[in-house]
Structure 1
Amino acid sequence: MTESLAASLLQQAVELHQQGRLEPAQALYRQVLELDPHRVDALHLLGVIARQQGDAAGAIDLISRALAVDSTQAPPHCNLGVALLDAGRADDALASHERALALNPSYALAWSNRGNALRRLKRLEEALESYQRALQIQPQYAEAHCNRAIVLQDMGRYLDALGAAEDALHIKDRNPDAWLARGNALHCLRYLPEAVESFDRAIHLRPDWAEAYVAQGMSLHRLGEFGAAVDSYDQALKHRPDYALAYYHRGNALRSLDRREEASAAYRAALAHGDNPETIAFALASVGEGETPAALPDDYVRSLFDQYANHFDQHLTEVLGYKTPAVLDALIRHVAPSSELATVDLGCGTGLCGPYLRAYSQRLYGVDLSQPMLDKAAARAVYDDLACTDLLTYLNQRPVAWDLAVAADVFVYIGDLAPVFSAVHAALRPGGRFCFSVEAGDGADYVLRPTNRYAHSLDYLRRLAAEAGFQILATQAMEARQENGAPIAAHALLLCK
């Protein structure tokens, strides 16, 4: 009698659960467990509901109890893995999904969830392979296509990410995660109006989604629609008042509107809700508060250029009228370099200087913080070696190695140039040349502008050169680029050790 009642209650609970009626299903699962405390299905599915309600710890406890009774079924292992990932235990989550797959190698859901754990562990190639295994088993699995789009985005393969997101949407167009993934890919490919529209679709399907509002705000900001961007960030904060990233980007939009006091308040709110103090320090400095940081954080610069790599050259040359490599080349040629130089291109980016420098370099090396930028530089086939690291580390490991060091539009991300000048001097051979550009400042040695770029005074550069042991061979006033249709004044300098 007890067994038949428990079975009947369990069947009713499962039906309610499948209809999304979690609380009555939960109540019935508990009644089943009162009749049979070791009922595996009731323990497992009660754990699934706990996870659906945001109680990862409760889910882990209940599903683990189910597995203690019977560990031979794949679904509880898979659902335990999802709950463990929710709890931040990615290694344990991976192990659970692999136990599920050992029991059922054709379990597409477990392959996809295994990919999620691998992605959290930054094992992106393995995560991609896991999603592909899921799709081999179940080609119409929209969530696996979407997860694949997310990991391709993480890998900087934005066009592939766009294709994977659209594959997901062709199968299931009411998929907010896929619309968000599509929007993120379009944003990075600079199809900004289309990105905004994609984020709109995600928000329509999930109106309280703070992350989607922030993503939309970032695209609006890039379009120059700063007021609309602020509105998006406000919506994000309405739904998630402790969202540090929304406060930070709201501050950036307010700064672009020259509403500096409000920008400062937004940055301070971001800090209060856990944002990186180093990031906030330079954000506050850009609106005139606090001490000017010596340099922008490496993580900020790396992230900026990782996303910028695919369209960097076109944006600089066609939109911003960027001519710095040609100006530096003319300065270097003015002192008649030989064709046998050992040259290092500091902050080489996509290698825009490379073709110029190759003409007088027997060896040409490049260094940059961003691997996607270096991948573009490698495609030019003009560098002998490329390294992904910071400038000081690279230079300090190579004393007296170079005849020529070049830094085109690099020092806009570094305020205090004294350590760089010292490191370059030590890395150059006697008589070696150092050619670089800066945005032109006046008065203070260096200032951080609202563009998050440093400007340096010529007097400061002359003083640093003398202190480091350089002789100034030439200086030239120039226009670095266009900003909102106006030229940005800059200096190019050529020094000699």
Structure 2
Amino acid sequence: MKTGSDPSVTTIGEEFAVAMQAWEDGDLAEAQRLGRRLAARRPDFGGAHYLLGLIAQQQGLGRKAVDHLSRAVAADPRQPVPRLALGQTLEAQGQRDAAILQYRTVLEMAPTHAEAHARLGELLGQSGQRDAAIDHCRRAIAANPRHAVALCCLGSLLHENGQSEEAAGFLVRALELRPNWATALYNYGLVLVACGHLHAALTILSGAAELRPNHAATAAALAGALRRLNRLDDARAEAERATRLAAQESGGWLELGLIRAAQGRQEGAAAAFERVVAIRPDLVQGHWCLAESCRVLGQTERAAEHYGLCLRLDPSDRIGAALGLAQVGAAAPPERAPDAYVRQLFDDYANHFDSALVDGLGYCGPEQMGEVLSRVLDRHNGLAVLDAGCGTGLAAPVLRPLAAWLDGLDISPAMIERAERRGLYDRLEVGELIAGLSARPGCYDVVVAADVLVYFGNLAPLLTAAALALKPGGMFACTLERCDEADYRLGNGNRYAHSAAYIEAQAAAAGFAVALLEPAVSRREAGADVPGWVAALRLRT
């Protein structure tokens, strides 16, 4: 005898409990039969429509599920359970805004509802409301620290927000709960790439690809990890696989273009980037990559067109398109690199800055600054010192012995976060250099700017601000790149080089005397020394 025919079951509540038990036991037919009987017996009973909505949802009958769940909500508007189910069904139907409304209503009734916060966080993230999405995911985790979806979503959102190291912790927690979850493995792989942990990323992304062999984005991410490891043939194979899996997704084509460019196949790279901008005409990176390939191919007009599109799509110029326009002769070089470009460059670079700069490029600017200061300073302790453009704090070990007070200033939040970990600064601040110097009148005995002036062509505003920040007789020490044929020029790497005569003239105009200006090499590029200067300028009393 079926449970539903038990004559001892007489009340609506008892019959509903039996029906829900059938549903939970997987007896879909019995649950549906009992649900329909309940709805016929009591058309205004929301529980019957809730159950029938769940069944319709499982059967893939989205519209029918929405209808039943909407009736369940109407029967008891203050009940969060059917409303949450309605939101999930609307979400599955692609009705994102309607689903968001339901989740928000659930939270009005139950402010700590973990699932509603998690779902709302994911949907807000998809709609570009990243800060609000992060907040809801954090609330979901506060309510339920083992909510795997919220942990994964928060990790992905933080990575998109440039907080990749924090993101890693949440994704590890998600994977501890669900070790073979392809989505979390994919997101964690992206984070590991961003943090420079390429071999670990390759392992994680390979696992994600095994779980989802037909997922194009995973293949593209795997190609990116292989490219960064210089395994270019393997990378190309993965990128080509990504384009076969999803020819209308831009990620695989973008990776394929970058790999072809790394292999010196610029025409093939340009063709891949053409596909990217055709698929995603709003993607700044696609236009910039195409412009760069066209520049290498000597197609300057075409390059200028796409640099111009970058600027129209992103007027703040995080990608440095204004510098690209100057490189192809379509515009005069700007007097300095765009702030947004420098900030983005170093935010992206922060996680592997030290190893890339010191190990990869032989960078020795901090040591040069220490040697210069030992020669020009009258005293070597008890000073107020500013590390201007401090980056990750590479110069801090050199400057700390000189300083009674050591400040650091950098335009990149990610760099400042890394510098804080050294524990050597008395104060660190995110800020643009000229504004930061101007806001500190007469504060410092020494201002140091190692590998910073390469992002400024016209030095007059910077030197004027440095003079304002120094005490009378104070010292401004810096490294620069060298040119001999002009006051300054923009080099191929989008870094400015300056002549000795120009440095001396601008120093004098700002009130400095040149205490030292000598040729030096503070870094290498493509295996060759980059000619430069070290300078120490003393503010006249």
CA distance in structure 1 between the partners assigned to 2:201 and 2:278 by the alignment: 21
2:317 aligned with 1:303, yes or no?
A: no
User: Who is 1:241 aligned against?
Assistant: 280
Match of 1:479 among 505, 521, 541: 521
User: Who is 2:332 aligned against?
Assistant: 291
Count of aligned pairs: 455
Match of 2:491 among 441, 449, 472: 449
**Alpha-carbon deviations, 1:418-439, whole Å to 9, x = none?**
2101111122222221111112
Alignment of 1:198-277 (within 5 A): 205=212, 219=225, 222-223=228-229, 228=236, 231=256, 234=272, 237=276, 240-248=279-287, 250-251=289-290, 254=293, 258-259=296-297, 261=299, 264=303, 267-268=306-307, 270-271=309-310, 274-276=313-315
Alignment of 1:338-487 (within 5 A): 338=379, 339-487=381-529
User: Who is 1:122 aligned against?
Assistant: 131
Contact 2:134 2:158 in 1 (8 A): no
Tell me how far 1:43 sits from its aligned partner: 7.6
SS state at 2:534 partner: strand
2:69 aligned with 1:41, yes or no?
A: yes
Gaps of 5+ in 2: 1-35, 237-253, 259-271
CA distance in structure 2 between the partners assigned to 1:209 and 1:245 by the alignment: 21
User: Who is 1:335 aligned against?
Assistant: 376
In structure 2, give the amino acid aligned to 1:477: P
Does the C-alpha gap of structure 1 residues 180 and 299 become closer, same or farther in structure 2, counting only changes over 3 Å? farther
Contact 1:118 1:126 in 2 (8 A): no
Contact 2:134 2:154 in 1 (8 A): no
Gaps of 5+ in 1: 31-38, 45-65
**Alpha-carbon deviations, 1:128-162, whole Å to 9, x = none?**
532423643xx3x5422311322443576545533
Contact 1:243 1:270 in 2 (8 A): no
CA distance in structure 2 between the partners assigned to 1:406 and 1:68 by the alignment: 70
Farther-moved stretch of structure 1 (182-191 vs 311-320):
311-320
Does the C-alpha gap of structure 1 residues 487 and 127 become closer, same or farther in structure 2, counting only changes over 3 Å? farther
In structure 1, give the amino acid aligned to 2:331: G
In structure 2, give the amino acid aligned to 1:247: G
In structure 1, give the amino acid aligned to 2:321: I
SS state at 2:408 partner: strand
In structure 2, give the amino acid aligned to 1:122: D
Does the C-alpha gap of structure 1 residues 98 and 487 become closer, same or farther in structure 2, counting only changes over 3 Å? same
Contact 1:237 1:246 in 2 (8 A): no
Tell me how far 1:462 sits from its aligned partner: 2.0
User: Who is 1:73 aligned against?
Assistant: 80
CA distance in structure 1 between the partners assigned to 2:535 and 2:494 by the alignment: 22
Tell me how far 1:188 sits from its aligned partner: 1.9
Does the C-alpha gap of structure 1 residues 325 and 110 become closer, same or farther in structure 2, counting only changes over 3 Å? same
**Alpha-carbon deviations, 1:187-229, whole Å to 9, x = none?**
122123554675677688496867x687667656645678956
Alignment of 1:88-99 (within 5 A): 97=103, 99=105
CA distance in structure 2 between the partners assigned to 1:341 and 1:168 by the alignment: 48
Contact 2:171 2:184 in 1 (8 A): yes
CA distance in structure 1 between the partners assigned to 2:223 and 2:489 by the alignment: 28
After TM superposition, the score normalised by the length of structure 1 is: 0.75
SS state at 2:482 partner: strand
Tell me how far 1:496 sits from its aligned partner: 1.4
Does the C-alpha gap of structure 1 residues 407 and 167 become closer, same or farther in structure 2, counting only changes over 3 Å? same
In structure 2, give the amino acid aligned to 1:72: Q
Contact 1:230 1:254 in 2 (8 A): no
SS state at 2:296 partner: coil
CA distance in structure 2 between the partners assigned to 1:322 and 1:154 by the alignment: 29
CA distance in structure 1 between the partners assigned to 2:475 and 2:424 by the alignment: 20
Farther-moved stretch of structure 1 (468-477 vs 358-367):
358-367
**Alpha-carbon deviations, 1:338-386, whole Å to 9, x = none?**
1232221111112222222222223221111223322332333332221
Does the C-alpha gap of structure 1 residues 465 and 315 become closer, same or farther in structure 2, counting only changes over 3 Å? same
Contact 2:308 2:325 in 1 (8 A): no
SS state at 1:471 partner: strand
CA distance in structure 2 between the partners assigned to 1:225 and 1:287 by the alignment: 31
Does the C-alpha gap of structure 1 residues 181 and 419 become closer, same or farther in structure 2, counting only changes over 3 Å? same
**Alpha-carbon deviations, 1:259-287, whole Å to 9, x = none?**
35388268348538824463422233345
CA distance in structure 2 between the partners assigned to 1:455 and 1:225 by the alignment: 34
CA distance in structure 2 between the partners assigned to 1:151 and 1:434 by the alignment: 41
CA distance in structure 1 between the partners assigned to 2:49 and 2:81 by the alignment: 23
SS state at 1:122 partner: helix
| Bigger-Rg structure (1/2) | 2
In structure 1, give the amino acid aligned to 2:519: A
After TM superposition, the score normalised by the length of structure 2 is: 0.69
Bigger RCO of structures 1 and 2 (CA < 8 A, at least 6 apart)? 1
CA distance in structure 2 between the partners assigned to 1:416 and 1:114 by the alignment: 48
Contact 1:287 1:450 in 2 (8 A): no
User: Who is 1:36 aligned against?
Assistant: none
User: Who is 1:181 aligned against?
Assistant: 187
Does the C-alpha gap of structure 1 residues 266 and 161 become closer, same or farther in structure 2, counting only changes over 3 Å? farther
Does the C-alpha gap of structure 1 residues 407 and 118 become closer, same or farther in structure 2, counting only changes over 3 Å? farther
CA distance in structure 2 between the partners assigned to 1:68 and 1:478 by the alignment: 80
In structure 1, give the amino acid aligned to 2:532: A
User: Who is 1:143 aligned against?
Assistant: 149
CA distance in structure 1 between the partners assigned to 2:335 and 2:97 by the alignment: 37
Tell me how far 1:479 sits from its aligned partner: 1.5
Contact 1:242 1:273 in 2 (8 A): no
Tell me how far 1:319 sits from its aligned partner: 2.2
Farther-moved stretch of structure 1 (267-276 vs 449-458):
267-276
Does the C-alpha gap of structure 1 residues 479 and 436 become closer, same or farther in structure 2, counting only changes over 3 Å? same
Tell me how far 1:491 sits from its aligned partner: 1.0
Alignment of 1:44-59 (within 5 A): none
Farther-moved stretch of structure 1 (374-383 vs 195-204):
195-204
In structure 2, give the amino acid aligned to 1:41: L
